[in-house]
Structure 1
Amino acid sequence: MINMPIWQRSLDPLFGPPKAGHYRAQPEDFWVDEQLDFTPEAHGEHLWLRVEKRNQSTLEVAKLLSRLCDVTPRDIGYSGMKDRIAVTRQWLSVHLPGRDAPLDLEQSLNAQGITVVEQARHPRKLKRGVHRTNRFVLRLSGEAIASDDFISRWEALCQSGVPNYFGPQRFGHEGHNLQRAEALLNRGWRKRDDRQGMMLSTARSFLFNELLSTRIADGTWTQPLAGDTLMLDGTQSVFHIDATDATLQARAMALDVHPTGVLWGVGEPGQGDAASYEAYLQQQYPGLCSGLERSGVKQARRALRMRLLEPQLDWEAGAVRLSFALSRGSFATAVLGELIEISG
């Protein structure tokens, strides 16, 4: 059975481990706003709702919308899963061909603590992963924010980027999702046992984090290696390099390109110096790697580093408020993990 490790932090060599801190003492301390890069077209069979929720998961809101609108769960669309213990804004869609939403829909949602911020019609269902960024406003407190190096840590992340770890929520309480994924892959993955593919995602996320942690330990997570696949900042566009040079190194230093790590699956093996990190994963976790390949999931790439977009820090009484945006799929908890030793 695989136990959850403690992954490397990028700032420890410079500052040592961070001191203890607190976040999410109340939902209002963790605020998230999902950002699209387009607007609904104001016509069509799907009603799009931008809602604000507190202490509720995306799936809970989707189930409620399904019931209130008398549609099946597959008629509800959403782009991303948002934190439960938080105040979050996000879009959801409801397929309502040829009919209006219930007249009391907003009132019924409001009675459940959900506010409709705006709504519009659109020809298509909201698909997973179509939002551009998530905007975060986080309130931190505790010993860490009073530390002499707190501002230096924050400035280092703004300048050099943040390890693009999958957050602990991906692995479940005490890593239980990882253990479930390991057991499922060992006996042979089947769609009926993992309808949403969550166990596949958990296993791939764990392997990615392991690779990233190893490259942080080696000091290679921000700079291209021979054989790396690089990703253009702010996009999913990738290109392979056989060798590195001064130009690529400069582009990486400027956060224009990022080395990537494998999201394990069926595909070509790595090459050059970068291949040794994938070989390490295969050697250490043969069951996960072979199980993912047998499942048929396709290999993909994820940037090892994320850029903080429009970062801002403001002091409050006994606390600090951080504001920044991240590209979709990146976790604010990875930012927090570099700044505080999370104690609650």
Structure 2
Amino acid sequence: MTLAGSKTHIHGVLKSSSEDFIVEEIPLYEPCGEGEHLYLHVQKTNMSHEHLIRHIATYFGIKKRHIGSAGRKDLKAITSQWVSVHLPGQTVSVPDSIGGIKICTHSWHKNKLRAGHLMGNKFTLRLREVLKENFNCLEQRLQALQRNGLPNAFGPQRFGNKNDNQFVGQYIITKEWDKVIAVLLAGTDRHHELADTGKFQNALDAWPFGQPAQRNILEALARGKSAEQACKTIPHTLSKLCVNAFQALIFNEVLKRRVAANSFNTIVEGDLVWKLDGGGRTFEIALEEVGSPEIVERSMQFLISPSGPLWGSKMRHPSADIERMEQEVLDGFGVTEEHLIGMKKFAEGARRPLCVPLKNTAISLEKDCVSVQFDLPAGSYATVVVEALLTGDL
């Protein structure tokens, strides 16, 4: 499935500077003005989520677990969002900035801000090096995305800097420990070559200190531990991240098939329907309802969407040809039902909408760039929008 001007692959550069990628969180609710949780509306530039939380925790003298947020924002960007700070019974002075973080405003609320407590994000992006004659094509593609919906793929950042987290996750699930190690220690530098030839102590001595998981594996191997024992040193958070990346890989593969069949935004027989306006609930519809005017209208209004798999032992399954197709994709990676049961400590499984709305779109040709604006629901990726605009492919 392609967008307008599909034969034209447009050259454009994103994120040449932080000003080219601006993210504004759309909150689920506003602080009420009273309670034990100080809500800070913050703006950061080129700062990781970890640094944001650390700076705030240090300033208020509390543990990081007492700080809440609705979600992580991009690193190389200017981003604004709410964070909550649990300060029961305290009266505090709030500065204009903390460690390079701008405090835009603040208030109080009765509960901690938690992951998912947001409606979505507003993006303002600047694409550099775009030829003026390609502007109309970009505009048509953006209009098509707003009209038809965005295929809700996971973006490349989900898969890590080396685009290999998903394979680590796959081999953790299938318990192929030698392959887990091979992926984590792969590379072309001298320390990678030392590891590849079994010189684990030499590789450990040369390995960068900024990669503790790899160093822990090498230390275990140098001490004569088995591949499985070495993999047990991988932090749970990293293992979970990689398993989640594998879930994302399978979801994207299923989505590709639905896009190719022109059904990523159409409810078909067997679908589990995602309620876009109802807190992420899924439901089944009767066969006679498929293709009915009501279902078609609700799909066109982006009130509902077909859903795709985030595999796990507790995931709800579709039926008919959709179930067979999703199972076929999973089978292609050698993952069985037994494996899914074993991975529940990392991920229990869920569904995710295949199609999401792209709202409040705007595009303009500026002196040295094309400016693009749009809103996305929580969990959807602006980089997927950019790829669709530049390539014309969904």
TM-score range, shorter chain: 0.7 to 0.9
Residue among 228, 236, 242 paired with 1:199: 242
* C-alpha spacing 1:190/1:98, structure 2 compared with 1 (3 Å): farther
| Deviation of the 1:303 alpha carbon | 0.8
Letter in 1 for 2:248: S
Aligned to 1:211: 254
Aligned to 2:352: 302
Residue among 12, 15, 23 paired with 2:6: 15
* C-alpha spacing 1:41/1:259, structure 2 compared with 1 (3 Å): same
Letter in 2 for 1:219: N
Secondary structure at 1:23 match in 2: coil
- Larger strand fraction of residues: 1
* C-alpha spacing 1:284/1:114, structure 2 compared with 1 (3 Å): same
Letter in 2 for 1:69: F
Aligned to 2:333: 285
| Deviation of the 1:100 alpha carbon | 3.2
Instruction: Say whether the 8 Å CA contact 2:18–2:78 is kept in structure 1.
Output: yes
Cα RMSD of the aligned pairs, angstroms, is 2.5
May I ask how many residue pairs the two structures share in their alignment?
A: 329
Greater mean deviation of Cα atoms: 141-150 or 48-57 = 141-150
Partner Cα separation in structure 1 for residue 307 and residue 11 of structure 2:
30
Residue among 385, 389, 394 paired with 1:335: 385
Instruction: Say whether the 8 Å CA contact 2:130–2:370 is kept in structure 1.
Output: no
* C-alpha spacing 1:283/1:320, structure 2 compared with 1 (3 Å): same
Q: Does 1:187 align with 2:175?
A: yes
Partner Cα separation in structure 1 for residue 233 and residue 350 of structure 2:
20
Residue among 132, 149, 152 paired with 1:161: 149
Q: Deviations over 1:250-271 (max 9, x none)?
A: 4324433211101111234331
Letter in 1 for 2:276: D
Aligned to 1:7: none
Structure 1 segment 98-247 matched on structure 2, within 5 A: 98-101=89-92, 103=93, 106=95, 109=98, 112-143=99-130, 146-147=133-134, 149-187=137-175, 193-195=235-237, 197-235=240-278, 236-243=280-287, 244-247=290-293
Partner Cα separation in structure 2 for residue 125 and residue 321 of structure 1:
35
| Deviation of the 1:317 alpha carbon | 1.0
Structure 1 segment 24-103 matched on structure 2, within 5 A: 24-101=15-92, 103=93
Q: State the percentage of identical aligned residues.
A: 28
Instruction: Say whether the 8 Å CA contact 2:24–2:121 is kept in structure 1.
Output: yes
Letter in 1 for 2:284: H
TM-score (normalizing by structure 2):
0.77
Partner Cα separation in structure 2 for residue 231 and residue 129 of structure 1:
16
| Deviation of the 1:59 alpha carbon | 1.8
| Deviation of the 1:66 alpha carbon | 1.4
Letter in 2 for 1:54: T
Q: Deviations over 1:28-47 (max 9, x none)?
A: 11111111132112222211
| Deviation of the 1:285 alpha carbon | 1.6
* C-alpha spacing 1:305/1:16, structure 2 compared with 1 (3 Å): farther
Which structure has the larger Rg over C-alpha atoms? Answer: 2
| Deviation of the 1:288 alpha carbon | 7.9
**Which aligned runs of 4 or more in structure 1 are off by greater than 6 angstroms?**
188-192
Q: Deviations over 1:147-174 (max 9, x none)?
A: 2522221111111111101111111013
Letter in 2 for 1:72: K
Partner Cα separation in structure 2 for residue 190 and residue 144 of structure 1:
51
| Deviation of the 1:94 alpha carbon | 1.3
Q: Does 1:274 align with 2:265?
A: no
Partner Cα separation in structure 1 for residue 274 and residue 84 of structure 2:
31
TM-score (normalizing by structure 1):
0.87
Aligned to 1:6: none
